[in-house]
Amino acid sequence: MTEEEQQNRSILLIHGRDFKPAAAAYLKLAATAMRAGLERDFPDCVECFDQLSIDLAWYGDMNADVLQRKGKTYDESLDVGDRHNALRALREIAPRKRFGIRAYDKLPGKSALPEFFMDVSAPLLGAVGFRMPVLGKIAKDFAAYLNDLEFAEEARRRLREKLCALMDRGDNIMLVTHGTGSVVAYDVLWELSNDTETYKDYGEHKVDQWLTLGSPLGDRTLQKRLLGAKERDENRFPSNVISWHNLAAEDDYSCHDTTLADDFKKMMVQKRVSAVHDYRIFNLAVRYGKSNPHSSIGYYIHPRLAKILSDWLP
């Protein structure tokens, strides 16, 4: 067995915006979905998966506080039940080849309008400086991350502490980030590999695999708000990721720019990352009787994620 195979393997998740179930419930759903993908496509890997350490950086209470102050309400029991129903339906799709456009086109309530709006409006709104206020009206909790320093620092702290604990242990790490959680993760990765306070202890540590699912990191206006965006040359990007895999679902408005390799190609030129892989997929999740291409459950169980996971397992 090689030294790399002998390392402890750990998966660390971070969720995105909006209301979220309690940490234990969210983590159980996510792990069950990933395991179901392996059972379907790579059953020989399930035993290895069951031995993994899987954890979650959770800041759902912070999202909820922002949203509730804006008059939003949340029924956690209903949300968890609907997530289970979505997962149950996805587990019934046995052949991985059925996760394609034919099945996607048959989903109830499928609409490309949200992504179309983002595709058309993003360049214009970004050019005139209106994009962030518009996003702030749609996603109050994400606006809080971008505009509220205290909110942002606390969200990053929660991820940073768990990530650093795994680095301290010397684990082989897969970081899986959904939606706007990938923005929190990018900033933490930048901090650990560039910030003077953390570089001494963590500058040489690496995340073996980083998965971004439905990520908005391709948005040019957002890129200007990332930590390090104003830096030049080697200090602009994180340097602690070996392989970056980006999954973007058709009609997922959060990742209207579906490719990241072109946006972050300088990271490879500067040898800050080994590779950035983009995958266009179809998310077959149905939430509350309607297609939801941004659903985390649909990403976690997808054959592409199962393939990346199986390749990473020893």
Residue 294 has pLDDT above 50, yes or no: yes
CB of 9 closer than 8 Å to CB of 52: yes
**Domain covering 7-312, topology:** Rossmann fold (3.40.50)
Q: Does pLDDT of 124 surpass 70? A: no
Residues 179-235 have pLDDT tens digits of 999 999 999 999 999 977 888 899 999 999 999 999 999 988 899 999 999 998 888
Rounded to whole angstroms, the Cα distance separating 84 from 282 reads 19
In the predicted model, is pLDDT for residue 52 greater than 70? yes
Give the range among 76-85, 92-101, 238-247 with minimum mean pLDDT. Answer: 92-101
pTM: 0.92
Average of per-residue pLDDT across 74-99: 96
Question: What distance in Å separates the CA atoms of residue 273 and residue 245, rounded to the nearest whole number?
Answer: 11
pLDDT grade for 111, boundaries at 50, 70 and 90: low
Rounded Cα distance, 52 and 55, in Å: 10
Query: Residue 105: CB partners within 8 Å, gap ≥ 6?
Result: none
Q: According to the per-residue pLDDT averaged within each range, which of 5-9, 45-49, 256-260 is highest?
A: 45-49
* 3-state class (DSSP) for residue 286: strand
Please give the pLDDT value at position 3. 56
Query: What was the pLDDT predicted at 6?
Result: 59
The total of other beta-carbon atoms located within 10 Å of residue 192's CB is 23
pLDDT grade, residue 133 (50/70/90)? Answer: very low
Question: For the residues 78-98, what does the mean pLDDT come to?
Answer: 96
272-289 residue pLDDT tens: 999 999 999 999 999 999
In this predicted structure, the answer to whether residue 23 has a pLDDT above a threshold of 60 is: yes
Count the alpha carbons within 13 Å of 22 in the hemisphere toward its beta carbon. Answer: 4
Are 208 and 12 in contact by the 8 Å Cβ rule? The answer is no
Domain coordinates of the chain in residue numbers?
A: 7-312
For residue 130, what pLDDT band results from cuts at 50, 70 and 90?
A: very low
Q: Which two tokens mark 204?
A: 């040489």
